[in-house]
């Protein structure tokens, strides 16, 4: 909370936070910090805006860091889901899992879902 800080443009702050919230679906390391600063969209202060810009600079510096899957890893058509656990900015564990079954039609997919 920065109740006595200088007010900034709410629209620009909301655009930045909205974009960062969209990215949290694929970047779990952003969830905590973006969620924390999303609370200040009603009356953002200069200190909040500086942190939002710092998060953008973090993204610029880490855009080439990805989890790599070799091409022979994806030889079948089963979906692969993944997870990553971060402690601060450090990746401490990660894992992947392929789906157990593969449906050839929408009806079959619904049947498999209902049966499970």
The answer to whether position 25 is within a domain reads yes
Pair (17, 52) in one structural domain:
yes
* Domain enclosing residue 54, as ranges: 10-61
The answer to whether position 75 is within a domain reads yes
Pair (76, 49) in one structural domain:
no
Residue 21 has pLDDT above 60, yes or no: yes
The answer to whether position 66 is within a domain reads no
Pair (57, 87) in one structural domain:
no
pTM: 0.54
What is the reported pLDDT for 91?
Answer: 80
Residue 73 has pLDDT above 70, yes or no: no
Domain count for the chain, please give it.
2
The answer to whether position 4 is within a domain reads no
More confident residue, 57 or 114: 57
Pair (55, 78) in one structural domain:
no
Q: What is the average pLDDT across 17-44?
A: 86
- Report phi then psi at 47, rounded to 5: -65, -35
The answer to whether position 3 is within a domain reads no
* Terminal-to-terminal C-alpha distance of the chain: 46
Q: SS3 string of the chain?
A: CCCCCCECCHHHHHHHHHHHHHHCCCCHHHHHHHHHHHCCCCCCEHHHHHHHHHHHHHHHHCCCCCCCCCHHHHCCCCCEEEEEEEECCEEEEEEEEECCCCCCCHHHHHHHHHHC
Convert the pLDDT of each residue in 32-59 to its tens digit. 888 888 888 888 999 999 999 999 999 8
Pair (21, 39) in one structural domain:
yes
Determine the Cα–Cα distance for residues 111 and 116; give it in Å rounded to an integer.
9
């Amino acid at each position: 909370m920065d109740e006595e800080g200088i007010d900034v443009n709410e629209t620009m702050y909301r655009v930045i936070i909205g974009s960062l919230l969209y990215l949290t679906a694929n970047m779990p390391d952003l969830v905590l910090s973006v969620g924390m600063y999303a609370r200040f969209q009603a009356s953002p202060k200069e200190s909040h805006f500086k942190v939002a810009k710092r998060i953008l600079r973090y993204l610029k510096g880490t855009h080439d860091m990805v989890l790599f899957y070799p091409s022979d890893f994806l030889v079948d058509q089963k979906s692969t889901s993944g997870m990553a656990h971060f402690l601060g900015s450090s990746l401490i564990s990660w894992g992947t899992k392929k789906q157990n079954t593969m449906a050839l039609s929408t009806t079959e997919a619904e049947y498999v879902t209902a049966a499970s």
